[in-house]
Amino acid sequence: MYKVFVNDIPIILSTNKDIGENYSSYPIKTAKLKRIINKINAGELLYVNLYHEDEEKLFKHLLKKLPVVTAAGGMVFNDNEEILFIYRNKRWDLPKGKTEKGESLEESAIREVEEETGVKDLEIRRFLRKTYHIFKRKDKFKLKVTHWYEMYSPYTGELIPEHSEGIKKVKWKNFAKSQKALTKSYANIKLLFPKEYLTTHPEDRVA
């Protein structure tokens, strides 16, 4: 199963036609994806399931419908076990960006974190997961696949937001402040965090 987000609404990709009475289900092979996305953006659809009996073909059919942008980013910890956040578009986010030609995913993740935050001496600890979301550029829908890594840095210097990318703030946040930040974040970012970081309020839970 995959979750592909349109804003904060997840489109479920599954091998089951019926995943709940609230869901509108469509065979992914023939689904009119742009129409579905527009309905989600208009608030007309909140629960969507795209299905195919073969799990391996689920994502392949999605790739036929949308061009892919590959990105990488990091959940960065320091010596105080604080997490590095950026503030952009009135939401708290984690640093990430598009992978450049000839770059490995790990190189891309480190470069983007450095560029967006000013943090140096980054070390990748482990791969976390991939997240998927659909966005619109130049009147075309695209699928962004972001590869996330857990990182560590001993950096204690100045944090420098990359203003050219719309980043207003960069902050190290402890557990309590991270919990608060996640109430004003994105659903796909919440997928990266253990449950104890997430608020118990239903509206702040990932569907």
Among 12, 30, 65, identify where a domain stops: 65
pLDDT of residue 199: 65
The whole-angstrom separation of Cα 80 and Cα 8 is 31
pLDDT computed for residue 139 by the predictor: 87
**What pLDDT was estimated at residue 56?**
87
The pLDDT value recorded for residue 204 is 41
Query: How far is C-alpha 175 from the geometric centre of its chain's CA atoms?
Result: 20
Furthest-apart CA pair in the chain: how many Å?
Answer: 52
Whether residue 80 sits in one domain with residue 60: no
139: Cβ contacts below 8 Å, ≥ 6 apart? none
1 and 23 Cβ atoms separated by less than 8 Å: no
Residues 50 and 84 in one domain: no
Sign of the CA dihedral running 181, 182, 188, 190: positive
- Which of 20, 43, 65 lies at the terminal end of a domain, its last residue? 65
Q: Does some domain include residue 132?
A: no
How many alpha carbons lie under 13 Å from residue 97 in its C-beta half-sphere? 20
**90 and 175 belong to one structural domain:** yes
Q: How does strand 96-98 pair with strand 68-77?
A: antiparallel
For residue 83, the number of C-alpha atoms closer than 13 Å in the C-beta half-sphere is 24
Q: At residue 132, what is the residue type?
A: Y
| Full domain range(s) for residue 104 | 72-126+138-204
131 within some domain: no
Burial zone of 174 (CB within 10 Å; 0-12 exposed, 13-18 middle, 19+ buried) = exposed
Q: Is residue 89 part of a domain?
A: yes
Domain presence at residue 44: yes
Same domain, 200 and 117: yes
Chunk the chain into consecutive blocks of 10 residues (it has 207) and report each block's average pLDDT, rounded to whole numbers.
Answer: 93 94 94 95 95 92 94 98 97 97 97 98 98 92 97 98 97 96 95 84 40
Q: Are residues 25 and 110 in the same domain?
A: no
- What is the total count of domains within the chain? 2
Q: What is the DSSP letter of 15?
A: S
Q: Alpha carbon 158 to chain centroid distance?
A: 26
